[in-house]
Amino acid sequence: MNELPEDLERAFRTLDAQAARRAERVDPERVAAQVLERLRAEKALAPRVLSLSPGFRLSAFGFRLPAFALAAAAAVVLLVGTMTTGLLRRDVATGSIAVPVVAQGLDSLNQQQLETVLRVAGDVQPLAVQSFGSPAGMWDDLSETQLRAVLQAVQQVQGETL
Amino acid sequence: MTDGDLIARYLAGDEQAATELVRRHTAALARFLAVQGAPDDELDDLVQDSFIKAFRGLGSFRGGASYRTWLLAIGANLLKDRRRQWRKRVAVELTPNLPDHSGDPAGDADAGWAAEKLADEIGKLPRLQREVFLLRAQQGLEYGEIAQGLDISEGSARVHFHHAVKRLKESVQ
């Protein structure tokens, strides 16, 4: 580029030639394949979380739950995981959605429905599940009163942190 | 097919369009990162991560700037973020045995020394000066395009380039 002084241009051409040689080692086909693989993985994960749309039907369980209840349940799983194991990773914490006063929307659910919500939340938040192990069965041992107590505790924690 | 066409096709679900975008811009991005001292063993990952960030952020891409300029700016930001992790490592491995274009061994050695000094000084430039200088001197972009890509005015791009050249010139004298 002739707008550079001669000595600077010469030095820059030398430097850039070396950069070009180093850049040649980066194979565009390999990069394209790996980028595509990562984009596919992200897409595959996204619908599981985005499925929390209004009126989302839990066909496997035969009843409807409002989206806010499922989103709240996801937050419940994250927070319970934090309280019980302290293993919640930073990326999960920052990736979770702060849902204020989550348990209010669940007051009308019976024990079976509460357990179902917590299990479904585990299904839709795989990162959270990884952070404290599989939640499968962890709610089974709790009574309805205990389940409500967990939700209330979460509610209090959120009230203090928000 | 333009980059804009490929972006539209990718957003419509065409994976092949993404592949083509990566093929088109990998070499320029890798060279842009390499000249700034990205380590060889990190270059591949940096290029990949830049593309991933770009694809994730396509929704915020403004058509005014070229995709390449936008992508290079993303790469530069990524490099800046990771540079802290590399502080203790050798950032640039300059090889003194560069191709002899002049037939003048003494001159070539001088050029190698000057290039080493230049690489060091480029790394010390303020971010905008560095990016404007490289987008202009290495990528050959017009000031208007640089300005759009970096979200600054064209006049500001010219000023950053001028300051960068002044400082770099002193380093190789």
| pLDDT tens-place string over residues A121-131 | 555 444 433 43
How many other C-beta atoms lie within 10 A of the C-beta of residue B133?
23
Note whether A12 contacts B18, CB cutoff 8 Å. no
Q: Are residues A68 and A32 in the same domain?
A: no
Provide, as residue numbers in chain A, all residues whose Cβ is less than 8 Å from the Cβ of B166.
none
Query: Is A75 part of any domain?
Result: yes
Model pLDDT, residue A125: 45
Q: Are residues A37 and A57 in the same domain?
A: no
Share of chain A above pLDDT 90, in %: 19
Does pLDDT of A107 surpass 70?
A: no
CB nearest to A26's CB, from B35, B44, B52: B44
Query: Is A15 part of any domain?
Result: yes
Q: Are residues A90 and A134 in the same domain?
A: yes
Q: Are residues A129 and A143 in the same domain?
A: yes
Give the pLDDT confidence of A12-59 residue by residue, as tens digits.
999 999 999 999 999 999 999 999 999 999 887 765 554 444 444 444
Query: Is A116 part of any domain?
Result: yes
Model pLDDT, residue B65: 75
Q: Are B118 and A12 in contact (CB under 8 A)?
A: yes
Note whether A22 contacts B55, CB cutoff 8 Å. no
Note whether A25 contacts B35, CB cutoff 8 Å. no
Q: Are residues A116 and A130 in the same domain?
A: yes
Sign for the CA dihedral angle at B29, B35, B36, B42 comes to positive
Q: Are residues A25 and A82 in the same domain?
A: no
Share of chain A above pLDDT 70, in %: 27
Mean pLDDT over the full length of chain A: 63
Q: Are residues A68 and A23 in the same domain?
A: no
Query: Is A32 part of any domain?
Result: yes
Which domains does chain B possess? Answer: 1-91 (1.10.1740.10), 102-173 (1.10.10.10)
- In total, how many domains does chain A have? 2
CB nearest to B35's CB, from A10, A16, A40: A16
State the Cα–Cα distance between residues A106 and A135, nearest whole angstrom: 19
Note whether B23 contacts A32, CB cutoff 8 Å. yes
Query: Is A153 part of any domain?
Result: yes
How far B5 CA lies from chain A's nearest CA (Å)?
Answer: 18
CB nearest to B26's CB, from A4, A20, A26: A26
Query: Is A21 part of any domain?
Result: yes
What's the token pair of residue B29?
């991005």
Q: Are residues A34 and A67 in the same domain?
A: no
Note whether B118 contacts A26, CB cutoff 8 Å. no
Range of the domain at A35: 6-48
Q: Are residues A30 and A95 in the same domain?
A: no
Does pLDDT of A71 surpass 70?
A: no
Query: Is A137 part of any domain?
Result: yes
Q: Are residues A63 and A104 in the same domain?
A: yes
Provide, as residue numbers in chain B, all residues whose Cβ is less than 8 Å from the Cβ of A45.
none
Note whether A28 contacts B118, CB cutoff 8 Å. no
Tens-binned pLDDT, residue by residue, of chain B (173 aa):
899 899 989 989 899 999 999 999 999 999 999 999 898 999 999 999 999 999 999 877 777 678 999 999 999 999 988 887 766 555 454 444 444 444 555 556 666 778 888 998 998 999 999 999 999 999 999 999 999 888 899 999 999 999 999 999 988 87
Task: Say yes or no: ipTM exceeds 0.85.
Answer: no
Q: Are A154 and A98 in contact (CB under 8 A)?
A: no
State the Cα–Cα distance between residues A78 and A66, nearest whole angstrom: 19
Q: Are B62 and B73 in contact (CB under 8 A)?
A: no
State the Cα–Cα distance between residues B10 and B6, nearest whole angstrom: 6
Query: Is A1 part of any domain?
Result: no
The length of chain A in residues reads 162
Q: Are residues A38 and A102 in the same domain?
A: no
The pTM score is 0.60
Q: Are residues A88 and A119 in the same domain?
A: yes
